Amino acid sequence: MDKFIVKGGCHLNGEVSISGAKNAALAIIPAVILCDEPCRIENVPNISDVRLIGKILCEMGANVTRVSKNVLDIDARNIKYPVAVSNSVRGMRASYYLLGALLGKFHKASVAMPGGCNFGVRPIDQHLKGFAAMGGKSQTLNGAIVEVSSDRKLHGAHIYLDVVSVGATMNIMLAAVKAEGLTVIENAAKEPHIVDLANFLNSMGANIRGAGTDVIKVRGVNYLKGVTYSIIPDQIEAGTYMAAAAATRGKVLVKNVIPKHLDSITAKLSEMGVEITEYDEAVLVDATQGNLRVCNIKTMPHPGFPTDCQPQFAALLATVDGTSTIKESVWDNRYQYVGELVRMGANITVEGRIAIIEGGELLNSAPVKATDLRAGAALIIAALCADGDTEISNIEYIERGYEEVVEKFRSLGADIRKKFDPETVVVTA
Ligand code: UD1
């Protein structure tokens, strides 16, 4: 298997440009299924999860053309059947958006149960509850395929989400865009990518109001026209480079961001004594002045501190003298990476949903394994601060969500390289 080799001990310095948001792209690309004309999507991150959703759409009959590294042309008019059950579909959590998009177009959908990063049980009951309220009955076949269908066009409904779910909010929006009448989603999630999906759908002619608040109203329309749309910058990728800059006591200008989306991350870094300067589309993270302070973090739905930045901040806090705590309140089981950080000399104990970090010990290099995407990012950060060469395996997790991660870190002065496993190299004639 390919690995990253990271030599620790540098202070990151320079500028890094943030790519388009993975979690917005993974909803917006399937949303094109609902469009009655071709679309051009810009600022698409060139990461393996996005390549996979593109492949899935192609398997279903769509034409997906990569015009340039970050621009896709998608024509989904040739998708004739509401079925997505290939192995590719199982390879990714976000393939659940195919349910909402296919249901919205065909009022039927058969989609293989999603895979993706594993942080405990990941139910989709709230998605299905929303579809049911709109007339879509669901069943699971052999525990492997979810089928949702309605005899007629879906109808609008009043849906209260029992948990604040990003996926359920976006999936119900997708199903509601062409439904008959008004759908109201209460206790909706408010993440930036929800607003981005709503903006994309509205630019095609949808009628969605309230995205970014906890009540979203979707009035169904019959036709969606083709558009050119640019995806927002990735809040979590930005937060990762911000944490890495702080952990290495470096100074990094993180460019192509929407600073407002980074408020909770900026607040925690400022609390720790990192100097942050906000510009219109960039933030400067300066930790060169030395001693950082401990802090306590609780993950929450937006605008709270994002769970997807939790592991990276654990790695950062492991470098700060004193006791910090993290409370994970979104996922049941998101501390699998802790064992790997402990192998690198971090002093972290986990009690239920709380991680207690006794920071300040010099981290040491070790062979470690990414247990999921953001866990992998945390290992890179820890490795940058460790003494010696750290070998990180399972990097395919990291490549799901970070565009040109080696190049970007190297441009900031990091000594990181990808070691290819000759066994996995495919030679073509
Ligand atoms: C998305 C992100 C993921 C991020 C998460 C929270 C994508 C592809 N993934 O995941 O990186 O960590 O948001 O910001 O965008 N829940 C239920 N029933 C449901 C749905 C969710 O109980 O039907 C629970 C989950 O188990 C979890 C919580 O709600 O405890 C939040 O999950 P949700 O916001 O739905 O996460 P995802 O959309 O899957």
Annotated domain spans of the chain: 3-18+234-424, 22-219
Token pair of 67, please?
């015009």
Q: Please report the atom of ligand 1 found closest to the CA of residue 122.
A: 26
Token pair of 377, please?
């990012």
Nearest CA to ligand 1 atom 7: 23
Query: What pLDDT sits at residue 427?
Result: 43
- Cα 98-101-107 angle, rounded to 5 deg: 110
**CATH node for 3-18+234-424:** 3.65.10.10
24 lines ligand 1 (CB under 6 A): no
120 lines ligand 1 (CB under 6 A): no
**Distance of CA 213 from the midpoint of ligand 1 (Å):** 17
110 lines ligand 1 (CB under 6 A): no
Q: What is the pLDDT along the chain (429 residues), one digit of tens a residue?
A: 899 999 999 999 999 999 999 999 999 999 999 999 999 999 999 999 999 999 999 999 999 999 999 999 999 999 999 999 998 998 888 899 999 999 999 999 999 986 544 545 678 999 999 999 999 999 988 878 899 999 999 999 999 999 999 999 999 999 999 999 999 999 999 999 999 999 999 999 999 999 999 999 999 999 999 999 999 999 999 999 999 999 999 999 999 999 999 999 999 999 999 999 999 999 999 999 978 999 999 999 999 999 999 999 999 999 999 999 999 999 988 999 999 999 999 999 999 999 999 999 889 999 999 999 999 999 999 999 999 999 999 999 999 999 999 999 999 999 999 999 877 654 433
C-alpha 17/C-alpha 233 separation (Å) is 9
CA nearest 42: which of 7, 76, 66, 78? 66
Query: What pLDDT sits at residue 120?
Result: 55
Q: H helices of 134-247, where? A: 166-176, 192-203, 235-247
Its pTM stands at: 0.96
Query: What pLDDT sits at residue 422?
Result: 76
Amino acid identity, residue 134?
M
303 lines ligand 1 (CB under 6 A): no
Nearest CA to ligand 1 atom 32: 165
Query: What pLDDT sits at residue 238?
Result: 98
Query: What pLDDT sits at residue 113?
Result: 80
The residue from 10, 35, 39, 117 that is catalytic is 117
326 lines ligand 1 (CB under 6 A): no
Does 3.65.10.10 match the CATH number of domain 22-219?
yes
**Distance of CA 64 from the midpoint of ligand 1 (Å):** 27
Query: What pLDDT sits at residue 142?
Result: 81
50 lines ligand 1 (CB under 6 A): no
Q: Do domains 3-18+234-424 and 22-219 have the same CATH topology?
A: yes
**Distance of CA 305 from the midpoint of ligand 1 (Å):** 14
- To the query of whether residue 35 is one of the catalytic residues in this protein, the response is no
161 lines ligand 1 (CB under 6 A): no
Going from the C-alpha of 325 to that of each of 102, 249, 274, 348, the distances in angstroms are: 42, 20, 18, 9
CA atoms within 13 A on the CB side of 367: 4
**Distance of CA 165 from the midpoint of ligand 1 (Å):** 5
Nearest CA to ligand 1 atom 3: 308
Residues found in the chain: 429
